[in-house]
Amino acid sequence: MQTTANTTPRVYVGTYGKYNRGNLAGQWLELEDFAGDRDGFLARCAEIHKDEHDPEFMFPDFEGFPREFYGESNLPERLFEWLDMSESDRELLARYIDATNDDSADLRDAEDHHAGTYASGAEFAESLADELGDTKALPSWLAHCIDWERAWECELRFDYCTSEDDEGQVWIFHN
């Protein structure tokens, strides 16, 4: 799930009737104004195109929100739910969808499966080992010999799915 960085979520609203007559007249609408309010958004679209009796809206362009929530002829309710989320919840959901390739996932799925965010799989493996037992009690000569990258790659990686963000952080989710 990718969005255009630092771009306000917005969509261009036209109609198929105008388009079919060679008229691309429409308007960009900032979607933050309609967070959680799909009906309000559709009412605004109708107001823009009040010169048509029964306008069939089309959305030929968009930016600033995930492609999974875009449709040329329909913007799903999920988009308006996403708009109502905090930035951190949006990021968590985006990382979960990217990790699982499950476009139907919701925030609850992401929260339930999130195991943490780490610099690497190796860092996660070491953290998990610390949670499960006191690795700090190991003699230093043994603790320094543990290959946490190998523990991640050979043993743990198959039980988790991951997504890497633009800063190189690895978001880890339980399968």
2 and 51 share a domain?
yes
Q: Are 80 and 146 found together in one domain?
A: no
Same domain, 53 and 122: no
For 7, the domain range is 1-84
C-beta of residue 69 within 8 angstroms of C-beta of residue 79: yes
Q: Is-contact 116 174, C-beta < 8 A? A: no
Residue 94 lies in a domain: no
Each residue's pLDDT, cut to its tens digit, for the chain (175 residues) gives 444 445 899 999 999 999 999 988 899 999 998 988 999 999 999 999 999 999 999 999 999 988 888 999 999 888 999 999 999 999 999 999 999 999 889 999 999 999 999 999 999 998 998 888 777 777 777 777 889 999 999 999 999 999 999 999 999 999 9
